[in-house]
Amino acid sequence: MGPRSLRQLLDAVLMVGRDLDLPAMLRRIVHAAVDLVDAEYGALGVLDQTRMRLAQFITVGLDDETCRAIGGLPEGHGILRLLIEDARPVRLPDLRQHPSSHGSPPHHPPMRSFLGVPIRVRQEVFGNLYLTDKTSAEVFTDADEELVVGLAAAAGMAIEHARLHARVQELALVEERERIARDLHESIVQRLFATGLSLHGAAGLMWGDPEAAARRVTAAVDELDRTVTQIRSAIFGLEARAGRARSEVRNQVLGLVLEAEPTLGFEPTVLFEGPVDTATAEPVATDLLATLREALSNVARHAAARRVDVVVAIDGADDGTELVLRVSDDGVGAKAENRHRGQGLDDMAARASRRRGSFAIGPANPHGTVVEWRAPVK
């Protein structure tokens, strides 16, 4: 195997391990094998749990129309069966002449030269690479077989890595579900209990002070609305962790909040309202995240707060839709904090102005500070 072949193999291995999404990785393995040995057609047959039948068959070189005309998934008969029954490389000058050949199904393109190599994961056969019709020569060579065997070894390790990564993600998701369940139980049960007491008190005021009773009922309804929003936010947060891109606004907001937890000394609550991910353009999201980072930093340094609430919402409709960030704390208050904040407030205001939005800071109820940053989503 010469230097050029080794370089080609290295490039192929790097391409296969580019990311850990298993379905995409399997297709890259076939593409890499086809390119490595100049094959016209390639396929990866993934075995089922019995190790005797094919559960998946990923092809390269056949267009969609041809695949539809050929029909369903091959089950692993004929030449394909050779590697399933005896997991060793197979190289044939003309697969049509082999005793195991059963011919091709209707609409299948004719194929001649053949190279098959098993892919093992932890010493167990995961599937087989099938390559046909070398374009730069009549048959596949010893060097071609060595290259594909090397690629298959690297592919086996990459597949195992991807499977382990997926398992870790599943375990992390289970832990996150349990954490969210605990948080919801503790926080929402407390809220509902407090709301129930408030409504019970309102019933006693109904005849003596109807206005006070009405205020209590209104406050209870508002609290129930906030509780429902918190439940939705927890569900959205769980979905965001269940395998979607790290670039999404929700994930990045949650990441910043987690980063701030050590300096704050507690975990802020986060609520999302509306289609935050799909509605927000990337430049707007960048300014929102910078503003959130600055706001949390200010709370940590100057507010002496014990609670912080972060709300990220889509507000409005059509061309008037805005992305809203609201950061509330129960600290020393806006006036006391502003004596120390300096350039931070100016930066937040400048980011809003650059987006033709708005920025405001004021007192929270009953005490503390509310920072609100708004910008059009487009």
Angle, to 10 degrees, between the axis of helix 282-298 and the axis of helix 249-264?
10
Q: What is the mean pLDDT of the chain?
A: 80
Note the pLDDT of residue 176: 62
The answer on pLDDT for 237 being more than 60 is no
pLDDT digits (tens, 9 = 90+) for 157-192: 888 888 877 776 666 666 666 666 666 555 555 666
Note the pLDDT of residue 188: 58
pLDDT digits (tens, 9 = 90+) for 189-233: 566 666 666 666 666 666 667 777 677 777 766 666 666 656 655
341 contact partners, CB below 8 Å, separation of at least 6:
298, 302
DSSP assignment letter at 236:
H
- Which of the residue ranges 43-57, 227-241, 297-311 would you say has the lowest mean pLDDT? 227-241
Q: What residue has token string 């209590």?
A: 216
Helix (H) or strand (E) holding 234: helix 210-241
- Which of the residue ranges 131-140, 162-171, 274-283, 345-354 would you say has the lowest mean pLDDT? 162-171
Note the pLDDT of residue 236: 54
For the chain, list the domains and their CATH numbers.
Answer: 3-166 (3.30.450.40), 244-378 (3.30.565.10)
The answer on pLDDT for 339 being more than 50 is no
> Tokens in use for 252?
């990045």
Terminal alpha carbon distance of the chain: 55
Note the pLDDT of residue 129: 95
**Nearest to 29, CA basis, from 163, 135, 119:** 119
pTM of the predicted structure, to 2 decimals = 0.48
The answer on pLDDT for 23 being more than 90 is no
> Tokens in use for 270?
């986060």
